[in-house]
Structure formats: C-alpha cells, structure tokens
Chain A
Amino acid sequence: MKQLLLSGILLCFILVTATTEYCEAQIPRERVQTDEPVSDIFWANSNIGVSTVRNLSAGNLNSTIAHVFGPVTGGIDRFYGLDDGANTRLGLDYGLTDRFSLGIGRMTFNKVVDLRSKYNIFRQSESGSTPLDLAVKFSTGITTLSGVGLEFSDRLSYLVSVMAAKKFNRFSLQLAPMAAHFNNPSPGNQSQLYGIGILTNYELNERFSISTEYLPVLGKRNNGTHNTLGAAININTGGHIFQMFFTTSQWHGEQFIMANNRDRFFDGDFRFGFNIHRVFGL
C-alpha cells in the first residue's frame, strides 16, 4: 500500500514537472493586434427597403428575396393584405472586393430591373481610429413593362445615395442623403427627388434585432405621396437573415419608394413584408 502511494506521488511529481517544463519552455502567448471593421452595423445589405452600409466580402454572393404585401387595413377578408399579392424583388449582389459590390434585381411592379453598386469609402473600426462607416451607392432602374410605348431612355431612373453609419454598442444609426432622377416621370411628377434615409438597428441579442427606417422626401415631391416609415424584426438563423416588417411603401428601391409611397404609417396604412438574405461564399 505504502509502495503504491509512493508510486502515485512520484507519478504526480513527474507529470507536474513535465508540465512545468513545457510551460517554462513555451514561447510567450501574445494576441494578434488587429483593427477590424466593426461588425453588424446593420445585419443585411438592406434594412426594409433602404440600403445599408453593410457590404459583401470579396467573392461572396448575397441573394435577396423581398416581398411586400397589400395594406393590413384589408382586414381578415383580405387576410390583412396577404391576399392582395406581393411586390416581390429577387436580387443578387456580388462582392468584387471587400469594399465594392455589384448587384442586379428585378421587382414585380413595373417589372423594374435594377443594377446597383456599393462602395465603402471607409469603415468604422473596432479601435475607434475610424469613427464611422461611409459608403456610396449608385443604382439604375429600368422599367421593362411592355406595351407602354416608351423609348429605352424614358424607362431609366437613377439613384445616388451617401450612407454614413455608426454603431454605438448595440445601437446603430445610419443617415443616408440621396438624390433620384427619372428620365421620364409620369405627368405631374418630379424628375428630381431628394430625401434622407434614417435607419436604426438595435441588437436584442445574437439572434434578434429590431430595426426601423424613415425616408422623408426633402423639397418638392410627387402629389399625394408621403414619407415612408417601417419597423422590422431581424432574425439571424446562422445562415440566413430574415427581416419581417411593417412598412408603408410597397415599392423596392429608394427612388421608387420616394416617388410612389401614398400611405401613412400612423393612419394604419401599412403592410406586412419580409426579406430573406443569404450569403454564399464562392
């Protein structure tokens, strides 16, 4: 018994000695000092209908499926707007570099095909050396509706938007002044529209966040239109981002939202919609 105890103590001593020797011999462990961009200022490339500063890494492909249904004021007879059909946008964006992406999409209304690009001029850094994200977006919309007797140039509209965003702990704010131009606006409508997108995001936890967007039109606006307001819950499933929201505008793309929204949120004229975003590494 005594011998067994002695052997045990000796074994323990050898193990402890070996471990200590390893530790003394090891090179000191040091963390790598990096200054990465702040992550998840917004959880997806667009919030509800307005683009965010979030961009794709080089070689990544983002697919988006966006739906906005009819007004919830349709009640149970219209299943709160779901019976009214959705304006659906299917989109793909591809990261050419870590700061520059190109995208294409197509929505139901007016069968608009949009081509867009986004470039991050600088990115908010974790160290605070760069205090905010700044990105610029260019987009061209092409109305492909047939039988309306329009020349190709008459079908075009353009948008430029400068997006400045900052994340404060769990809360993010984005201000995005923008200008839109329509080559051939409908009679009585403006060919130029200006607005400012005001977006927020608040992370409840790793899986859920709440976001809002407000897009007031500044200066002259189309008759009968109102500023768009929406609120969404974002769900991070690990592979997808689901955004379920209520918003006033049934349109996709900032220039079309500014030009066409005729509903007011606080009059109850809002709609249910959802976006699904998925990033693939190619």
Chain B
Amino acid sequence: MTESGYAEFESSVPLHSFTGESEHLTGMIDPSENLVDFYLDLNTLKTGIDRRDRDMYRTLNVEEYPFAEFTGSLESMFDMDSSEEQPVTVAGEFSIHGTTRSVRINGTIQVNGNELILEASWTLNLDDYNIEPPGILFYKVNEEQKIRIEATLKPKDRENLKS
C-alpha cells in the first residue's frame, strides 16, 4: 500500500510547456494475487496557476469523473530478494474522463527493506479518452501528455482497506 505517491504530467502548448503534479497518488501492489491498483483524485493535480487548474478540472470533468485509475497485473513477477532496480511491465485498464483503455506500462521496482519503490512513465493521448484539448483560437494543448508516477509502498493488511 502506498506510503507516499506522486504523479505528474507534462503538457505543452506552442512555445511553452507546463507541469501538473499531485502528492496524492494512492495504490497497492499485491504480489500474492498479482494485482496492481492505483488511483489519483484529479482534483489534487496542481499546475501552479489556479485559473489553469480550474480549466483543467473542467476539461477532465472531475465532478463526474473524479479519479484517474489503473488496475492490472505485472506481466512478470519481480524478485523480492533483490535490492536492485528491476524493470517491470504492467498490463491492465486505465480509466480517466469516463473512458477505459487497455494499456501496458513500463517502469521499475526496487525493494528497499520492507518498502517497494515504484517508478513508471508513459504517454497518454487525450483523444483516446475523449478529452478535448483546451485551447484558445489556434493554440491548443498538445494531445500527447507525458505521465510519470513515483510511489513508495509499505506492507499493509488488505482486509483493513476494504470498507
């Protein structure tokens, strides 16, 4: 279960790029059931300019679809006894803006004592999720958004997580 989770996206418009980030990435990796499950409350994403944030929330329709979520599994299990950074691939379903797509995402896992340190990045195409890129006149946000996540996970009893 995440002890801390960070997610960011990098977005660009002509001659300019900006980053949005959140410290509220929540999720878990359950090696016994080979389950990887993460979600982010999109209302916690901040770009540093509050008006731009509100435009982003409106574009993502966060009132109706508050979460970006991934649920899937590891394609190959990592070595729990190794402290080296290990490449991993997860496959599953990613949902945002009310649209779900099957995705494969590459990342790394490192075992550090009783912690797992996860890092992953991928490119999200707004059009795939029916998200209209915001813009003014001829300037539009690029459809391709670079996503990066970092999470530190600690062991936790999953029964306690279910409501």
* A189 interfacial contact with B, CB 8 Å: no
B51 in contact with A22 (CB, 8 Å) = no
A29 in contact with B49 (CB, 8 Å) = no
Q: How far is the CB of B98 from chain A (nearest CB, A)?
A: 14
Known A-B contacts A25-B71, A279-B49, A281-B48; the reply to A34 vs B39 at CB < 8 A is no
A27 in contact with B41 (CB, 8 Å) = no
* A238 interfacial contact with B, CB 8 Å: yes
Partner of B58, one of A40, A57, A206: A206
* B163 interfacial contact with A, CB 8 Å: yes
B71 in contact with A26 (CB, 8 Å) = yes
A29 in contact with B48 (CB, 8 Å) = no
B49 in contact with A57 (CB, 8 Å) = yes
Question: Size range of the interface on A?
Answer: 20 to 34
Q: Which residues of A contact B41 (CB under 8 A)?
A: 30-32
Closest to A206 in B: B58
Partner of A29, one of B18, B67, B93: B67
* B115 interfacial contact with A, CB 8 Å: no
Contact flags B66-84 to A (C-beta < 8 A → 1, else 0): 1101010000000000000
Closest to B1 in A: A27
Partner of A281, one of B18, B55, B158: B18
* B15 interfacial contact with A, CB 8 Å: no
Partner of B51, one of A29, A30, A32, A236: A236
Known A-B contacts A27-B28, A27-B161, A32-B24; the reply to A238 vs B55 at CB < 8 A is yes
Q: In the complex, A60 Cα to B49 Cα: how many Å?
A: 8
Q: In the complex, A59 Cα to B49 Cα: how many Å?
A: 10
A281 in contact with B43 (CB, 8 Å) = no
In the complex, chain A residues 54-87 whose Cβ is within 8 Å of any chain B Cβ: 57, 59-60
A238 in contact with B136 (CB, 8 Å) = yes
Q: Which residues of A contact B162 (CB under 8 A)?
A: 27-28
Partner of B50, one of A25, A26, A29, A39: A39
Q: Which residues of B contact A57 (CB under 8 A)?
A: 48-50
In the complex, chain B residues 27-54 whose Cβ is within 8 Å of any chain A Cβ: 27-28, 30, 33, 35, 37, 39, 41, 43-44, 47-51, 54
Q: Which residues of B contact A206 (CB under 8 A)?
A: 58
* A219 interfacial contact with B, CB 8 Å: no
Q: Which residues of B contact A30 (CB under 8 A)?
A: 26, 41
Closest to A282 in B: B48
In the complex, chain A residues 97-118 whose Cβ is within 8 Å of any chain B Cβ: none
Q: Which residues of A contact B44 (CB under 8 A)?
A: 32, 34
* A239 interfacial contact with B, CB 8 Å: yes
Contact flags A2-40 to B (C-beta < 8 A → 1, else 0): 000000000000000000001001111111101000011
* A169 interfacial contact with B, CB 8 Å: no
Q: How far is the CB of A206 from chain B (nearest CB, A)?
A: 7
Known A-B contacts A236-B51, A279-B49; the reply to A28 vs B43 at CB < 8 A is no
| 22 A-B residue pairings within 8 Å (CB atoms) | A22-B71, A22-B92, A22-B93, A25-B30, A26-B37, A26-B69, A27-B1, A27-B26, A27-B39, A28-B162, A28-B163, A29-B67, A29-B69, A31-B43, A32-B41, A39-B50, A59-B48, A206-B58, A238-B51, A238-B135, A279-B51, A281-B48
Apart from A27-B161, A59-B48: 18 A-B pairs, beta carbons within 8 A: A25-B35, A26-B71, A27-B1, A27-B158, A27-B162, A29-B39, A32-B41, A34-B43, A40-B51, A57-B48, A60-B48, A238-B55, A238-B135, A279-B51, A281-B18, A281-B47, A281-B48, A281-B49
| Chain B residues within CB distance 8 Å of chain A | 1, 18, 24, 26-28, 30, 33, 35, 37, 39, 41, 43-44, 47-51, 54-55, 58, 66-67, 69, 71, 92-93, 134-136, 158, 161-163
Q: Which 8 A-B pairs have the closest CB atoms?
A: A32-B41, A281-B48, A28-B163, A22-B71, A27-B161, A238-B136, A32-B24, A26-B37
